Structure 1
Amino acid sequence: MRVALFATCVNDALHPSTAIATVKVLERLGVEVDFPAAQTCCGQPQYNTGYRRATEPLVRRTARAFEGYDHVVTPSGSCVAMVRDNYPRIGAGALAEGRGRDLSDAAASLVPHVYELTEFLVDVLGVTDVGAYFPHTVTYHPSCH
């Protein structure tokens, strides 16, 4: 099983310890994790602010960066939603405008391989207990993702 970490631009710039912790959890569970150096931003900031065409090169780049991996795991529900929900829309839009068969194919090739970390743990690895312990009361907030 070939697994790649998609660290995300926010984690890379502001919270690199999140990506490191993700790798530690996965490796503790016996998963060998690659980190493709070609990865960058998924394009969500551009897409969400209306710069849809500016996102297109990032769709292509992201698909190329993770080409050949069985699973692409990220600790970001937002980036997973961007890839799963918006990459196909971006590809379809470019295709409808007659300029993007490769973009549509790039999106389609990546979408089925992308997982949010907890989804990967439970749905792919079948793990519901990672051995973590936190002896304090917490509040759970189910985000929009």
Structure 2
Amino acid sequence: MSNIIGFNNAIFWTDDTEILYCEFSNTDPNAKLESTKAKLYIKAITTLCKGKAMPFVIDLTETCGTFTTSVAKFIVRNSELKKLRISESFIIGTTGVKLLITLYKKFYDPATPFRIFADQNLAQAYSLETKQKYHNSIKKVVEDYK
């Protein structure tokens, strides 16, 4: 069963794979993600995840533009997202977006595991793999605690 929250240029959903999917669409290369939208997106993510950590698959194939430094820091430092984000799989369509994501991850969020893909199936496979590793590590911690 899918749960979906949509905006003008973004859709967020989860399904029985327990992966959070994000799809953005924007054709304006001068557009910047502002804090008001970022806050709405974070609220959608926290609502869909319902407190459960999940890998994120972020489809940027139909988008261009950028974000301000303050918004990048806000997203990375958000305590709710830190608890929910197991890994990030970015699906990209251009070299420019790949460069933007690589720099964002290097400077603002080097801790969260991520990969960049051109194919959604590969992105989903990576997400399922990181989810399994995450759950196995949790089981090990619980077993070691006993």
TM-score bin, normalised by smaller chain? 0.3 to 0.5
| TM-score (ref. length: structure 1) | 0.33
Higher relative contact order (CA 8 A, sep 6+): 1
| TM-score (ref. length: structure 2) | 0.33
Task: Select the structure that is richer in helix.
Answer: 1
Task: Select the structure that is richer in strand.
Answer: 2
